[in-house]
């Protein structure tokens, strides 16, 4: 499973619409979750954009204060894993039994399917690309973002399934650079702390181009080379 987790506090103002970019991610099999930081005033347009990005990306969105950011990031990641598994299960139920609802199964089958969903949520392979808004207004919130990333890395490491984390920020450090990778796929949280002292906060917010950059990163990785999702076929032994 592949996720982009966007952490931002405002509205995009450069380049392609982030909603269009999120839809491209979803079409490529990448779920886009969005956390909006609301310690200051988040404009109505910004709130709407956050919701629309997540909807187009097949993911979830939440507004969070900095003190709740770590908890929110972990919660969104876990919920999206379960949601992805459930969608795959529903597809297979439709193919095998002609029903897409777990509730329509006999009680004994229903319990088995729920058990398998719980198991797969913990054991399926997962990659999360964190995409951090590094525009000027985010500067006082970066410490909370750093803690959230550290805690998420610890949480991912505790999963039974293989889990990896990568980190990007936008805009990039060079003039005209929409996005830059700070940390390649890793299970080692040690590199997280070195990211933030290097960040150069800038005024623009090229959210859409940054999402496209991460999509390209995913598509170049070997992880995305399989034609079918690893959850395909996982329920056939349980519901026939």
Q: Which domains does the chain have, with CATH numbers?
A: 2-231 (3.40.50.410)
* Interatomic CA distance for residues 161 and 124, integer angstroms: 5
Place of tokens 């009680």: 107
Going residue by residue through the chain, which has 240 residues, state the pLDDT in tens, using 9 for 90 and above.
899 999 998 788 889 999 999 999 999 999 999 998 876 655 556 788 899 999 999 999 988 888 888 889 888 888 888 887 877 777 766 666 666 567 777 777 778 777 877 888 888 888 899 999 998 878 888 888 888 888 888 888 778 888 888 999 999 877 788 999 988 988 876 667 777 777 777 778 899 999 999 999 999 875 545 544 455 454 444 443
Other C-beta atoms lying within 10 Å of the C-beta of residue 45: 11
Q: By the 8 A CB rule, do 46 and 10 touch?
A: yes
The CA-atom distances, in angstroms, between 226 and each of 39, 68, 177, 221 are 41, 36, 30, 11
Q: Structure pTM?
A: 0.81
Q: By the 8 A CB rule, do 33 and 152 touch?
A: no
Burial code (b: 16+ CB inside 10 Å, e: under 16) for 125-134 equals: ebbbbbbbbb
């Amino acid at each position: 499973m592949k996720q982009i987790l966007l952490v931002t506090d405002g509205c995009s103002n450069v380049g392609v619409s982030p909603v269009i970019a999120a839809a491209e991610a979803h079409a490529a099999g990448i779920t886009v979750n969005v956390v909006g930081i609301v310690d200051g005033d988040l404009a109505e347009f910004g709130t709407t954009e956050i919701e629309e990005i997540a909807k187009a990306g097949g993911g979830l969105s939440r507004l969070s204060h900095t003190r709740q950011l770590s908890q929110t990031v972990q919660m969104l990641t876990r919920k999206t894993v379960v949601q992805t598994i459930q969608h795959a299960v529903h597809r297979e139920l439709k193919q095998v039994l002609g029903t897409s609802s777990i509730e329509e199964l006999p009680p004994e089958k229903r319990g088995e399917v729920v058990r398998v969903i719980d198991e797969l949520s913990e054991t399926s392979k997962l990659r999360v690309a964190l995409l951090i808004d590094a525009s000027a207004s985010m500067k006082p919130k970066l410490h909370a973002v750093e803690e959230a990333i550290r805690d998420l890395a610890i949480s991912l490491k505790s999963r039974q399934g293989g889990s990896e984390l990568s980190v990007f920020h936008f805009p990039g450090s060079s003039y005209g650079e929409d996005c830059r990778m700070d940390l390649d796929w890793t299970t080692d949280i040690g590199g997280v702390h070195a990211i933030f002292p290097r960040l150069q906060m800038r005024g623009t917010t090229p959210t859409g181009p940054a999402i496209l950059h991460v999509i390209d990163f995913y598509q170049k990785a070997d992880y995305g080379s399989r034609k079918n999702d690893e959850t395909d076929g996982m329920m056939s032994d349980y519901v026939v």
